[in-house]
Amino acid sequence: MILFFGVAGGNMFQANQTFAQLRNVTGGETGLLGSGGAAFVFGLLLAALVGAVVFGGIKSVGAVTGRLVPAMAIVYVTACLVVIAVNIAQVPTAVGLILAGAFSAEGVVGGALGAMIVGFQRAAFSNEAGLGSSPIAHSAVRTKNPATEGYVALIEPFVDTVVICTMTALTIVIAGTPFWQQAQATAFATGGDEVADGVLVTSDAFATVLPWFPYVLAVAVFLFAVSTIITWGYYGQKAWTYLFGKNVVTERIYQAIFCFFVIVGSVLTLGSVLDFADAVLFLLAFFNILGLYVLAPVVKREVRAFRAKLASGEVTEVEPSERAML
């Protein structure tokens, strides 16, 4: 399941939304990237860039995105704060609309329960909590106390969902752009079956206060997409080599397939990508959460052992200045 979700959520979705934002800032459907062939060409170029990294040819690209992405995240958060600050008087109303929409029975198949299910889908899609993907990266850390990585992992969904997503939602609702209103009306009319490009809704919201920011957002989205695709390429490769063995031939086959789906994600509609990703996400979460229940006693034992070490002084907190000297 990691393989399939890596292709859909970590690959195709990123390529799709990156092209959507680039097309938006270059004039939309009638602009430079408005033709049908532009998506295919963009997909080829993005696949070539990703392939240069995952095939191991250009290591510096991964290193550069690793440095630039944190900077772009700070720029994004700052832009959200600017829009919110300019419209600070509307924050209480926006929060009320968000809470009302979260439990609204209108426009979503299944009423209030359906609204909650859609919310859980998007939350899991955003922060990957419970999917078993980030443990692949955490497992590479060398530590004598595995429970410490669990505490680190707890920060990820908080920052992503509670901080970033909340700020984004406030920015969109406060701005109240015609694009967002149209997207909302379409979602209600179709029962949530048709969704707008989320990156375009966000971009238009920023433009109400910072007219130039959609161009910056295009760069940020591109960097986020490349880094996310590379990360999921690593996750998928670990799953692939576990199933088919670790050798040059099998790895190259996987890498070629993964890069091919970058192109596929660029040319498909957002709805098609999300339908596939949601189906795989459910299966991935289902099997992973079953495993979590089975391993719960092990986790409990590890956490108790770590807390006992903290209490006895066997494990002590290291200050950042001291850590740099180790």
| C-alpha atoms less than 13 angstroms from C-alpha of 209 in its C-beta half-sphere | 19
| C-alpha atoms less than 13 angstroms from C-alpha of 182 in its C-beta half-sphere | 9
**pLDDT attached to residue 189:** 56
Answer for the pair 151, 165: CB distance below 8 angstroms, yes or no.
Answer: no
Which residue type sits at 134?
A: S
Q: Considering its fold, how many domains does the chain have in total?
A: 1
pLDDT in tens, 135-147: 777 777 777 888 8
From first to last of its 326 residues, the chain has per-residue pLDDT tens of: 677 777 777 788 888 888 888 887 877 665 556 666 888 888 899 888 888 887 765 565 556 666 777 777 888 888 888 888 888 888 888 888 777 766 665 545 555 555 555 666 666 667 677 777 777 777 777 778 888 888 888 887 888 778 888 888 888 888 876 666 666 666 555 555 555 566 778 888 888 888 888 888 888 888 888 888 888 888 888 888 888 888 888 888 888 888 898 888 888 887 788 778 777 777 777 888 888 888 889 888 888 888 888 888 777 766 555 454 44
Q: What helix, strand, coil percent values describe the chain, rounded to 5?
A: 80, 0, 20
**pLDDT attached to residue 324:** 46
pLDDT in tens, 82-131: 888 888 888 888 888 777 766 665 545 555 555 555 666 666 667 677 77
Inter-axis angle of helices 59-86 and 198-207, nearest 10: 50
**pLDDT attached to residue 217:** 82
Q: What's the pTM value of the predicted model, to 2 decimals?
A: 0.73
CA 76/CA 69 separation, integer angstroms: 10
Which residue type sits at 193?
A: D
Range of the structural domain that residue 299 is part of:
2-325
Of 170, 159, 161, the C-alpha closest to 205 is 170
Q: What is the dihedral of CA 291, 297, 299, 300, to 10 degrees?
A: 150
Answer for the pair 263, 51: CB distance below 8 angstroms, yes or no.
Answer: no
**pLDDT attached to residue 123:** 65
**pLDDT attached to residue 107:** 47
Answer for the pair 236, 2: CB distance below 8 angstroms, yes or no.
Answer: yes
CA 156/CA 153 separation, integer angstroms: 6
**pLDDT attached to residue 138:** 77
Count Cβ neighbours within 10 Å for each residue of 309-319 and write b for 16 or more, e otherwise. eeeeeebeeee
